[in-house]
Amino acid sequence: MRIKDVLESKGGADVVTIRAEATLAELIEELTKHNFGALVVSDDGRQVAGIVSERDVVRKLREGPGALDIPVSDVMTTDVHVCEPHDSLDDLMRQMTNARVRHIPVVVDGKLSGLVSIGDAVKARISELEFERDQLNQYVAGGQ
């Protein structure tokens, strides 16, 4: 399975982004509104400037309530792991595991075209395994 298949199974590749100058309070609002664990940081919705996750927020909130006014640019990760639509799901899952990340932006020609979470990857892998199981069951049942 390819990343493009994962994006198609999600029903599209629309990505919610947040500007680097937005505050952590605005970020929390967007994460909550969309029930997401991370957002891609982009000022134009196309170029990936970074990624920011719930974990980043929690770590910063230890500094006190004033942390809610801090810009996203102060907590985002700028060394972003990315993938492309033709990459395999197995490679993506390996990359997530090795980098210890849960969200990877999908880019085409350097432009943001999607976002895959570990949940998306696991769901797609389970679907693959269920399909293979069903095919094997049909093969065995047909051979008797």
In the chain, domain spans: 3-142
Q: Tokens in use for 63? A: 């500094």
pLDDT of residue 78: 96
- Residue 94 or 140, more confident: 94
pLDDT of residue 138: 86
pLDDT of residue 13: 62
Residue carrying the six token digits 């940081």: 41
Q: Tokens in use for 51? A: 């990624």
pLDDT of residue 127: 87
pLDDT of residue 139: 87
Q: What is the pLDDT of residues 69-97, one digit of tens each?
A: 999 999 999 999 999 999 999 999 999 99
| Average confidence (pLDDT) over 112-139 | 90
pLDDT of residue 20: 97
Q: Tell me if residue 18 falls in helix, strand or coil.
A: strand
Confidence of residue 37 (pLDDT cuts 50, 70, 90): very high
CB 107 within 8 A of CB 13: no
Is residue 105 over pLDDT 90?
yes
Q: Tokens in use for 3? A: 């990343």
Confidence of residue 99 (pLDDT cuts 50, 70, 90): very high
pLDDT of residue 134: 87
d(CA 77, CA 94): 20
In this prediction the pTM is: 0.87
- CATH number assigned to the domain with residue range 3-142, chosen from the 4 options 3.30.365.10, 3.30.70.100, 3.40.800.10, 3.10.580.10: 3.10.580.10
